[in-house]
Amino acid sequence: MPAVKKGDLVLLSGASGFLAVHVAKELVAQGLKVRGTVRSKAKGDYVKKVVGDNFDYVIVEDIGTDNAFDKAVEGVQGVAHTASPFHFNAGGEKGDPDEILIKPAVNGTTNILKAAKSHGKDVKRVVITSSFAAVVNNRQAGHKFTEDEWNQDSLDQYEKEGKDAPGNCTYRVSKTLAEKAAWQFEKDEKPSFDLATINPPLIWGPTIHQCPDPKGLNTSIAQLYSVLKGEKTEEEISKMPPGFLVDVRNVAQAHVQALLREDAGDKRFNVSLVGFTFSDAVEAINARDDPAIKKAFPKMPTGIKGDKSRKGPELDATRSKQVLGLQYLDFETVVHDTAASLAKRETEEWSK
């Protein structure tokens, strides 16, 4: 099945998000045109200013509403579906995770697929932003996560703990069920397009989306911002759980290559640079010794040493290199560029 080609028009859902603005820029850089969906005119205008002439937008206020994408998908050849709630504010007194996280994620995904089937006669490929959250299980050193694995642990935990399960569990459930729903849709409905999913772990990198207040920072970047601000002690930082990291520019490339490359169809893609801890990240930022970062964040911890020799499970991203041709940015660059972009906003936007 032919994939999307240069000059084609791509529908990008959630275009105002941290990741999606990079996807929009990369689509345009690769010769494609973009129709973004955003929740307000102000958000759309901001993205247009960042991305330029080959970006336009339509308003979709709630991806979970029936038929939300029916008009948006008309006349496009490809779809990149990034929109999904990404936060951990659900469960217990915070509210019903089903309503806050799971239904919007699952219904948003099935709505865009239904729209592509019924109103997008030219759609060749749909790329869905899934997550490592849909892959990960509780595993020890020696285990290598591949695209064959599905998160079962979070589904089991949610079944046991119900609406009191912690927000990070129910977020993982939302991503797992949304991705499963996408593959099930393809199996049941046999649309004339095919699918690919991108499954990133924690994403950092420069922030270029609209964020007038640091309190509104997207979840993955907000954690580093609070470390840079000195809001966590060195002991708290050393206890932050290890994870896997990837740069937003590489994740954006993955989305675009998954649209363009014919052999990316019907595949999941882990996209990951490295296993890391926040201590490793703080050490890397200090190693670069960037005066702009030091000036913006005078309370940033300086005495922390990371331990990259520490052993944990691994995340296999070989397929993303072989099929999508990804070349990952190095750890120090990813961490430095994230901190530098936050330092710029801190100095020029947020402290005014």
| Range in contact with ligand NAP (rule: CB under 6 A) among 58-66, 260-268, 290-298, 344-352 | 58-66
**Which of 210, 238, 232, 205 lies closest to 332 in space, CA to CA?**
205
User: Which of 12, 83, 169, 271 touches ligand NAP by CB under 6 A?
Assistant: 83
Cβ proximity to ligand NAP: between 234 and 240 the closer is 240
**Which of 173, 208, 51 lies closest to 102 in space, CA to CA?**
173
CA distance 11 to 13: 6
Burial (CB < 10 A; 0-12, 13-18, 19+), residue 225, is: buried
Query: Considering only residues 282-341, where is the footprint of ligand NAP by CB under 6 A?
Result: none
CA distance 58 to 35: 7
- Does position 176 interact with ligand NAP (CB under 6 A)? The reply is no
Cross-strand bridge partners of residue 12: 36, 80
**Which of 222, 247, 219 lies closest to 350 in space, CA to CA?**
222
Site string for ligand NAP, 131-160 (x = CB under 6 A): x-----------------------------
CA distance 155 to 153: 6
Query: Considering only residues 211-250, where is the footprint of ligand NAP by CB under 6 A?
Result: 218, 220
User: Which of 104, 167, 243, 265 touches ligand NAP by CB under 6 A?
Assistant: 104
In degrees to the nearest 10, what's the CA dihedral of 110, 199, 176, 187? 50
SS3 label, residue 339: helix
User: Which of 4, 10, 16, 341 touches ligand NAP by CB under 6 A?
Assistant: 16
- Does position 62 interact with ligand NAP (CB under 6 A)? The reply is yes
Query: Considering only residues 34-53, where is the footprint of ligand NAP by CB under 6 A?
Result: 39, 43
Cβ proximity to ligand NAP: between 20 and 335 the closer is 20
User: Which of 58, 202, 222, 237 touches ligand NAP by CB under 6 A?
Assistant: 202
**Which of 30, 35, 29, 48 lies closest to 9 in space, CA to CA?**
35
In single-letter form, the type of residue at position 134 comes to: A
Cβ proximity to ligand NAP: between 96 and 234 the closer is 96
284 sits in which H/E element: helix 278-288
Specify the DSSP class assigned to residue 101: I
- Does position 275 interact with ligand NAP (CB under 6 A)? The reply is no
Specify the DSSP class assigned to residue 268: E
- Does position 200 interact with ligand NAP (CB under 6 A)? The reply is yes
| CA dist 162 → 90, 96, 156, 169, 176 (Å) | 11, 9, 10, 10, 16
- Does position 206 interact with ligand NAP (CB under 6 A)? The reply is no
User: Which of 3, 4, 11, 19 touches ligand NAP by CB under 6 A?
Assistant: 19
| Range in contact with ligand NAP (rule: CB under 6 A) among 9-17, 48-56, 114-122, 282-290 | 9-17
| Range in contact with ligand NAP (rule: CB under 6 A) among 69-77, 88-96, 196-204, 312-320 | 196-204
- Does position 129 interact with ligand NAP (CB under 6 A)? The reply is yes
| Range in contact with ligand NAP (rule: CB under 6 A) among 84-92, 226-234, 290-298, 302-310 | 84-92
- Other Cβ atoms less than 10 A from the Cβ of 310: the count is 13
Residues contributing to the site for ligand NAP (CB under 6 A): 14, 16-20, 39, 43, 60, 62-64, 82-86, 104, 129, 131, 175, 200, 202-203, 218, 220
